[in-house]
Amino acid sequence: MLLIKNGRVVDPKSGLDTQADVLVDGKKVVKIAENIDAGDAQVIDATGLVVAPGLVDIHVHFREPGQTHKEDIHTGALAAAAGGFTTVVMMANTNPTISDKETLKEVLTSAAKENIHIKSVATITKNFDGENITDFKGLLEAGAVGFSDDGIPLTNAGIVKKAMELAKENNTFISLHEEDPDLNGVLGFNENIAKKEFHICGATGVAEYSMIARDVMVAYDTQAHVHIQHLSKAESVKVVEFAQKLGAQVTAEVAPQHFSKTEDLLLSKGANAKMNPPLRTEWDRTKIIEGLADGTIDMIATDHAPHAIEEKEREFTKAPSGIVGLETSLSLGITSLVKRGYLTMMQLLEKMTVNPARLYKFDCGTLEEGKAADIVIFAPDEVRTVESFESKAENSPFLGAQLYGKVKYTICDGKVVYRG
């Protein structure tokens, strides 16, 4: 048995926020109360620490198969545990893509060896061709939890509609990366700074919010569920809000970098601040935070995207987009949202636990008696300097940053899988 003593126990699902002990036996939480006496149980003193459900990230890239020089499932799992995550969902833009049952089974077999829960989506279209929809029913039966062509926007509206109809038929949903390539210039650079500092046409706002507008209205028409990935524009938040009020089944996520920093970070951090969609303006950042606060944006997801050092050191416009994010996500949420009064700790954790778990109907994201012993214990007021990562990659603009929030323990299925 494991006894966590004297922590601030926070559970967004039940609304519990109190000082208590948590007793774990096997893979389950068996008791939450004050002054629990459990004899010879292993004791963790959580005085001054938050004890919360293990974090859930629905958007990670672990690069296996085919790109394991960047990351693999094992190092991705280590990074997740270090960040307080006990459940993650991998995207399907591997090589080969996860478009068939054989590749999916290979990935899930590898994932099952790790100490945290690792799920995977499959692609919406075969090998990201944008035209031929995969076998949704067969892939779901083989273990896929959803569908996304993340990284490659679906430009064909007819295919989007067919995919939504098929998703509805199979009681699932599709997740979409929204950047219309016909309205974009060089990816990874917001249009303002691209023009002013780099004298190129960058990634435009209209490429994002116009495609979101199309897809949420297709969702409204089909009454299918669509999930919008990594919003970055103020207008995008408004479009999602409009669709939700209209009655469309629309959920949305934002990445920590988009509520923490702006396009100016490119000037000091170079390609390590280059991502798709790009960092935007202070106005966009503010409106994203408002969307988090009012519930328009349901959840926070890292879009953890590892790259090798030599890839990021290429000429700026040719360096790949994406940053690692699992090990800084909680700290950025505390630093940029909680400490500045935009969200309470309960609201932050809601968007990092129960809401993403609910999206996929996972039996996790809560800290309750009788439920899974997936737990994160962290020091919300401790300032840490970001110095290194468990991930195979280090492409982060937050290296060297001082952030609030340090993960002390990550517990999955009742076992300590990380000590900070």
Which residues are the active-site residues?
A: 303
Cα dist from 95 to 33, 277, 323, 350, whole Å: 48, 22, 19, 34
Does the CA dihedral 287-303-251-10 come out positive or negative? negative
Q: Who contacts 141 (Cβ-Cβ below 8 Å, separation ≥6)?
A: none
Query: What are the strands, taking DSSP E only, across 124-173?
Result: 147-148
Beta bridge partners of 406: 379
d(CA 411, CA 418): 7
Query: 42, 338 in Cβ contact below 8 A?
Result: no
With CA atoms as reference, report the closest residue to 52 among 327, 374, 402: 374
Listed in sequence order, the DSSP H helices in 299-402 are 309-312, 329-333, 345-352, 354-359
- The values of phi and psi at residue 164, to 5°, are -65, -45
